[in-house]
Amino acid sequence: MNLPSQMNAVEMRGPGGPDVLALVRRDIPTLKPNHVLIKVIAAGVNGPDLVQRRGHYPPPKDASDLLGLEISGEIVALGCDQTQWSIGERVCALTNGGGYAEYVAVNANHCLPIPSGVSNIDSAGLPETFFTVWSNVFYNQDIKTGSVFLVHGGSGGIGSAAIQIGTAMGLQVFATAGSNEACSYCQDLGSKRSINYKDEDFVTVIREAGGADIILDIIGGKYVARNIKAAKTDAKIIQLAFNHGSRIEVDLMPIMLKRLVLTGSTLRSRPEAFKTAIAKDLSDKIWPLFGTTPVQLKTTTFKRFSLNDAAGAHKQMESGGHHGKILLVP
């Protein structure tokens, strides 16, 4: 296949607001032996992209400086050691950066087939959120059926994935969101109870349900102490982001008395082998649930933007009010 020497890509002109993003011409990425080159069909926009754009989440060593942690596309070239995929196959993939471009080089082990019933474009919104939720909540964990799973930010990308996976795994999913419309959206994805945090106290609701066994939080700030109150004895609280700040004052005594686990992680810095293991687990246990009944997972795309309007996509994400994923389409 004859490939161009250059491509369109979105660069940061420096840390700052959405307007620092600009469309430029770049050389096509070079391939490592275990990588594949993918012609991008669509790229997902995620919270870490916004944090990196602001200058607070630098890419790991040897990673692309371009934004974009998940894509869908067509494989157009293979690294010399790569036999898992073939040229012409369409996949979605977790990247280590570089997704905001027409072409991206990806570890072949971090690619997954397009799930049944999912369009090539919409599948771009799956990898980052599904890898994140599965690795933090379910991977190598023995979680009892019927456990209470509280998901904050239920209408966002992470929340949408967490509600669906939790429901598919037989958990009682409770979700918080900021409007009745967003709560209805969470209910449609499978949440047992959606809590409009502007009208209700999630701590009270969860305590009435017996307390949460698992809490997935992207809010931080005052939610940290409230999560501790809502948690059941021996519960696990997983912190994935801090939209309301990471510096807090908290009473540690309830953590001791309840024997709580308070943890968190970032996915991008995890070893390649770990991401490969997550990809295999998703392929074996979650991807078959797309397009099947009675449990049917689905994509939750809110809006698509053109690659040259990456700034608009970031503005949309920062403004809130979206339900599901925001995508860029070259």
CATH 3.90.180.10 occupies which residues in the chain?
A: 6-126+268-329
Region 6-126+268-329: CATH code:
3.90.180.10
> Nearest-CA neighbor of 152 among 250, 230, 234?
230
Q: Under CATH, what is the fold of the domain 131-264?
A: Rossmann fold (3.40.50)
What pTM does this model have?
A: 0.94
Beta strands (DSSP E) in the chain are 6-12, 21-27, 35-45, 70-78, 90-94, 103-107, 111-113, 148-151, 172-177, 193-196, 212-217, 231-239, 261-264, 301-306, 325-329
Residue with tokens 């490939």: 3
Task: Look up residue 169 and give its two tokens.
Answer: 């795994």
Please give the full DSSP string across 170-201, using - where no structure is assigned. Answer: T-EEEEEESSHHHHHHHHHHT-SEEEETTTS-
Note down pLDDT in tens along the chain; length 330 residues.
Answer: 789 999 999 999 999 999 999 999 999 999 999 999 999 999 999 999 999 999 988 898 889 999 999 999 999 999 999 889 999 999 999 999 999 999 999 999 999 999 999 999 999 999 999 999 999 999 999 999 999 999 999 999 999 999 999 999 999 999 999 999 999 999 999 999 999 999 999 999 999 999 999 999 998 889 999 999 999 999 999 999 887 777 888 889 999 999 999 999 889 989 999 999 999 999 999 999 998 766 679 888 999 999 999 999 999 999 877 888 999 999
Q: How many of the other CB atoms lie within 10 Å of CB of 291? A: 13
Positions of CATH 3.40.50.720 in the chain: 131-264
Contact between 35 and 105 under an 8 Å Cβ cutoff? The reply is yes
Q: Smallest Cα–Cα separation from 158: which of 52, 266, 263? A: 266
Handedness of CA 30, 31, 35, 39 (dihedral sign): positive
